[in-house]
Amino acid sequence: MEGQSFEKQYEIPKSETGPKFDIESVLERGEIETVERLKGHSFIKVVRIKDDGEGLFKPGERIETTMHGEIDENRAALEFLAYTVDKILEFGLVPTTVQREIQAQKGALQTFVSTAVPATKLKNWSERVDLANLKQAAVFDYLINAQDRTTNNFLIDDVTGKIWLIDHDYYMFFEDYKFSSRIVNEARRKKLAALSSEILTAVTRLTESVDALIVEADEGYLKQILEGIKKRAKILLKTEEIPMA
């Protein structure tokens, strides 16, 4: 159904006003001007919304070829799960993401961030990021156990130093590559592992919400991810720092 939100699935409370709500509304209900499939292996479409910029659309169910053979990946659900976790934490790291049906295909529509570029494009990216934001991103990646946070999977606004986390798909959540997260590694290197009271409050808020998310998740793999997040959130609250690998 056009504009239906995954939030029905997760029952995330949200304020009636404010920038996030407005962006979600635009993505869910904005008038679509054009839709264009990008050239490349991953199935991604650029969706232009009248007077409101662009979004990147990734379809829901899709057969993906991995090292384990073909898997039925619901990338949209994974992308939205990451957005939901970030929203509860109130870190603002994952671009606004909604579920929408476009050209008879259900999927995740995520704000296109025009003000930032993949970290791969920046020389010495770690010297350009806001350190408080880097710490938040490291906490997020620790919580989701990010397996593939390469410099292609996060964006940096070179003016403000803000980080945007993208590409929350099968490879990020499930493949046991041990590629880990460049962000977590960099936070540790910069001795940013100790958590502030604000971050501990955010993680506490997540632990208070995660059981409801687990109950409401309609797929086993989503429950599995959320159980992992719950476990690692408890570790953060106990140790008050990002543990060493």
Partner 1 sequence: MILYYFVDLYELDKDAKQRKIATFKMQEDEPGRVEINGDENHPVLKSIEGEGIFDYKNARPGKLYPHDGMNFLENLKYYFRSGYLLATDVQRATINN
Contacting partner 1 (CB under 8 A), which of 16, 51, 69, 123?
A: 123
Contacting partner 1 (CB under 8 A), which of 117, 200, 214, 235?
A: 117
Query: Which of 105-139 are b and which e, b meaning 16 or more Cβ less than 10 Å from the residue's Cβ?
Result: bbbbbbbebeebebbeebeebbebbeeebbbbbbb
Nearest alpha carbon to residue 206 among 48, 10, 3: 10
Q: Are 49 and 33 in contact (CB under 8 A)?
A: yes
Contacting partner 1 (CB under 8 A), which of 15, 17, 114, 197?
A: 114
Contacting partner 1 (CB under 8 A), which of 152, 185, 196, 207?
A: 152
52 binds partner 1 (CB under 8 A): no
Site residues for partner 1, window 14-43 (CB under 8 A)? 38-42
36: β partners: 46
- Taking CB under 8 A as the binding criterion, the range among 172-180, 192-200, 201-209, 222-230 that sits at the site for partner 1 is 172-180
Q: How far is the CB of 239 from partner 1 (least distance, A)?
A: 28
56 binds partner 1 (CB under 8 A): yes
121 binds partner 1 (CB under 8 A): yes
> CA 18, 107, 172: angle at the middle one, nearest 5?
90
Q: Are 93 and 137 in contact (CB under 8 A)?
A: yes
Nearer to partner 1 among residue 155 and residue 229 (C-beta): 155
Contacting partner 1 (CB under 8 A), which of 46, 214, 235, 237?
A: 46
